Amino acid sequence: MRNAKNEMENVKETTYRRVVDHGKTYLLRLVNSVVAANMFFAIAEHNLTIVGMDASYIKPITTSYIMIAAGQTMDILLTTNQTLGHYYIAARQFWSQEVDLTNFDLFNVTAIIEYRGNYTIPLSPSFPSTLPDYKDSRQVIKFSKLLRSLASKDHPVNVPLNITTRMYITVSMAEIECKNTTCIATGEEIILATSVNSISWNNPVPTDVLLAYYRNITGVYTTDFPDQPLNYYNFTADELPEALAMADLGSKVKVLNYNEAVEVVFQGTNILGAGCVVLALSCR
């Protein structure tokens, strides 16, 4: 797909085109490789059926548009059942913050689906009227509510019932004080970072955590990552004390026993503004 200031500008020479046959079903593997940006995606006059997300099957969803978060993957079925012609594939960035930006990228990225066959080529392809506006949070919520696990009688999900460890993890934007060489400041004493339970990861030495664990190397990490946040409050309140934004740098890990049943609750917060992100849980 290409960046396009005007969807109709120089499309014959620069836009990627995909030739399709009428009546077939195609599998699209969609990956959002944009850094820290969520994207709307739609194909003009075509529905999309999502069957998988992040390497897991879900209950099939048929929709006229999708919202895909940064780093997320989707498996989508496209049935080419419309009138022979040319149709735009289009994506547009979604901005979830309340503040207005003067330099926000409002351009669309586009590609074109071309049906194979004998027909009069249109002067310009159809553009997806269902592609939401870049600040349309209602369409994000509407889409998110459609997502369901594949769990059913035919696809049972066996959830552990005897929980041995419970963790409550808040995910927030945070402010960190620059002290000595713990971070690089650009003329500011405070930098922005992401934190979990008010801790932002810091590598004190260039040694892999797993390597340090297996070789019993000290000074790389500590085993005191907290099971819960330091304070409980209204995490999604419109106004939150500025002091809650402060976080510490640390190399803290949670050590679990083999075959332990762990319940993890991820809680987003409105500290320094809410966002829409994907969380990935990696156990090693």
Instruction: Look at residue 105 in the predicted model and tell me its pLDDT.
Output: 59
- Residue 141, phi then psi, degrees to nearest 5: -65, -45
Please write the tens of the pLDDT for every residue from 222-271.
999 999 999 899 998 888 888 888 898 899 999 999 989 999 999 989 88
Does residue 236 belong to any structural domain of this protein?
yes
Give alpha helix (H) positions in the chain.
11-14, 137-144, 209-214
Does residue 88 belong to any structural domain of this protein?
yes
Q: Are residues 115 and 8 in the same domain?
A: yes
Does residue 108 belong to any structural domain of this protein?
yes
Q: Are residues 65 and 109 in the same domain?
A: yes
**Cβ(27)–Cβ(77) under 8 Å?**
yes
Does residue 104 belong to any structural domain of this protein?
yes
Q: What does the block give as tokens for 133?
A: 């506006």
Q: Are residues 103 and 171 in the same domain?
A: no
Does residue 200 belong to any structural domain of this protein?
yes
Tell me the longest C-alpha to C-alpha distance in the chain. Answer: 71
Q: What does the block give as tokens for 38?
A: 């969520």
Q: Are residues 137 and 254 in the same domain?
A: no
Q: Are residues 105 and 239 in the same domain?
A: no
Does residue 134 belong to any structural domain of this protein?
yes
Q: Are residues 139 and 199 in the same domain?
A: no
Q: Are residues 7 and 134 in the same domain?
A: yes
CB-based contacts of 106, cutoff 8 Å, min separation 6: 134
Does residue 150 belong to any structural domain of this protein?
no
- The boundaries of the domain holding residue 106 are 2-144
Q: Are residues 83 and 212 in the same domain?
A: no
Closest to 283 measured CA to CA, from 210, 193, 208: 210
Q: Are residues 170 and 133 in the same domain?
A: no
Please write the tens of the pLDDT for every residue from 139-169.
999 999 999 999 888 888 888 999 999 999 9
pTM: 0.75
User: Environment class of residue 153 by beta-carbon count within 10 Å: exposed (0-12), middle (13-18) or buried (19+)?
Assistant: exposed
Domain end call among 79, 113, 144 = 144
- With a cut of 70, list the residues of the chain below it in pLDDT: 1-13, 96-107, 179-188, 275-284
183 alpha carbon, distance to own chain's centre: 26
* Alpha carbons 38 and 69: distance in angstroms, whole number: 4
Residue recorded with tokens 């945070």: 174
Domain count across the chain: 2
DSSP 179: -
Q: Are residues 33 and 111 in the same domain?
A: yes
Does residue 233 belong to any structural domain of this protein?
yes
Q: Are residues 103 and 37 in the same domain?
A: yes
Q: Are residues 32 and 78 in the same domain?
A: yes
CATH number of the domain that residue 20 is part of: 2.60.40.420
